[in-house]
Amino acid sequence: MSETIQIEEWQLSDELVLTKNDLDFLNNRVNGGKINSKIEIIPKGESQFQLKATSWVGTVKIPNSHTIIVKPKVGNLNFIKMLVYAEDLEGIEFFDLVTASEGEFLVDFMARLFIQLIKPIAEEGIYKSYVTITEEIPSVKGRLLLAQNIRHPRLTHEKFWCEYDELSTDILENQILLYCTKLFSVLVKNYSIRSDLHNFQSILESEGVSEIYLEPYHLDLISLQKMNEHYEQALKLCEFILRFAWYHDFAKEETLPIYGFLYDMNELFQNFVTKVVKETFPDYNVYKEPANYDLLESITVKESEEQFDTTRVRLLPDIVIEDKKSKTILVIDTKYKESVTNNDIYQATAYSLTLECPVLLLVPQIYNRIQESFRIKPIYKKSAQIHIKSVDFSDTENYIEEMRRRISKELTNTVQALNSSSELIEI
């Protein structure tokens, strides 16, 4: 029986029945063939399973079966606030437009934001622009295409191949809005939101806007100017939607089957911390995953074509802070998980010994506050330090400012402790 399964990050669902098709879909399509990479599947008996959320939040719709909803632990509104800050989307005025409802599903919440952003577009009027049309018509219009006309002789009736410009609503801006409207309308659970989406879809389709296959890079083709500037905020949200929703290519299908909308909180946490680090240390060089810091180099001698694929094997710090002389003073590795593991310590040790600098493992505070520091015993006459600190991401007034303050405090305290005998960084 199809049902909606709600899980919070890192939490277990109730037991449910999953068919072989359900399991194949979750393993191959959602987890991408990697065991439990996005949603962990725990057998509990014959056809009985529990699902455990990892660090991915959003909605997954199993075809003809269950809908799985993973709620962000920070709450819908705080998730959006973090997203806007980390992705440099401050131009989107979400919070004046929408009253947050923490009980809503994330995809419904984002669909409501989307509706608030497209309402002014519907009220102001669908934007039109000139598009180039090439077709065979009874009379000459625009530019006559001589090559096409020579290849198509006219024996019984006169038609001419012409190319001309025409004012139309069937332009990329509107096609993107239609595309995202259809994406949301399949995933949302709230009837009122779905109804609003269908109404806007009808407006676009009645204006002659067509469905085309889109990718996020298509938004780079749009040039904002006075006539279409009221589309800017909606298009920013559309770019985010297109990056994190996955679906069939409806250019090849009669309908638009949606699989889901999932966002990796690891990435959001890393991007959020990176931006805070840059603001905390404006006079230093701060890099996110700098390619020149990849510490692994293959020395394998290729004797045949059947070799282990090392292209995905990397030892690359999340965030690197360099002083003005390009000396590495601190490596920060963000770990969006419940607790730090031995593998995390091994990784941090490699960074500290190789780069000869301290490493800070920064994790969100899920249950208990974590404050640990380690010194690697100098057996090989090399010193290494590892510091583990958690940051409380619980709800608070002025959420983003408070999160920035909390992270900045941990960073400055760590750096001051490391450099108390020098004036490496002035806070």
CA distance linking residue 286 with residue 277, whole number of Å:
7
CA distance linking residue 253 with residue 248, whole number of Å:
8
Angle formed at CA 401 by CA 400 and CA 405, multiple of 5 degrees: 115
Token pair recorded at residue 187: 């995933």
First to last CA, the chain: 59
Count of residues making up the chain: 427
According to the model, what pLDDT value does residue 422 have? Answer: 42
Whether 418 contacts 357, CB under 8 Å: no
Task: Please check the confidence at residue 90 and state whether its pLDDT lies above 90.
Answer: no
CA distance linking residue 32 with residue 25, whole number of Å:
9
* Range from 134-138, 308-312, 317-321, 347-351 carrying the lowest mean pLDDT: 308-312
Task: Please check the confidence at residue 163 and state whether its pLDDT lies above 60.
Answer: yes
According to the model, what pLDDT value does residue 97 have? Answer: 42
For helices 399-418 and 265-280, the axis angle rounded to 10 degrees is: 60
Q: Tell how many helices (H) and how many strands (E) occur in the chain.
A: 11, 17
Q: Which H/E stretch holds residue 143?
A: strand 143-144
State the average pLDDT over residues 62-84. 84
Task: Please check the confidence at residue 424 and state whether its pLDDT lies above 50.
Answer: no
Three-state SS for 183-198 is HHHHHCCCHHHHHHHH
Whether 393 contacts 265, CB under 8 Å: no
CA distance linking residue 241 with residue 263, whole number of Å:
10
Ordered strands of the 245-247 beta sheet: 4-8, 67-71, 56-61, 258-264, 245-247
Of 221, 224, 212, 267, the residue nearest 244 (C-alpha): 267
pLDDT band of residue 378 (cuts 50, 70, 90) is low
Of 351, 376, 365, the residue nearest 410 (C-alpha): 365
Instruction: Give the residue carrying structure tokens 């996005």.
Output: 38
Token pair recorded at residue 261: 């909308």
Token pair recorded at residue 363: 């994790």
Token pair recorded at residue 160: 């001419």
Token pair recorded at residue 34: 């990697």
State the average pLDDT over residues 37-43. 89
Task: Please check the confidence at residue 95 and state whether its pLDDT lies above 60.
Answer: no
Cβ atoms within 10 A of the Cβ of 161, count? 19
Coil vs helix vs strand at 344: helix
User: Per-residue pLDDT tens for 172-205?
Assistant: 889 989 988 988 887 787 888 899 999 999 999 9
Task: Please check the confidence at residue 334 and state whether its pLDDT lies above 90.
Answer: yes
Task: Please check the confidence at residue 396 and state whether its pLDDT lies above 90.
Answer: no
Secondary structure (DSSP) of 87-141: TT-TTS-HHHH----TTS-HHHHHHHHHHHHHHHHHHH----EEEEEEEEESS--
Burial environment of residue 358 by CB neighbours within 10 A (0 to 12, 13 to 18, 19 or more): buried
pLDDT band of residue 394 (cuts 50, 70, 90) is confident
Beta strand pairing status for 67-71 and 4-8? parallel
Of 63, 75, 61, the residue nearest 105 (C-alpha): 75
Q: Which amino acid is at 259?
A: Y
State the average pLDDT over residues 286-309. 73
Whether 339 contacts 363, CB under 8 Å: yes
Instruction: Give the residue carrying structure tokens 């909308």.
Output: 261
Task: Please check the confidence at residue 206 and state whether its pLDDT lies above 70.
Answer: yes
Of 282, 96, 127, the residue nearest 203 (C-alpha): 127
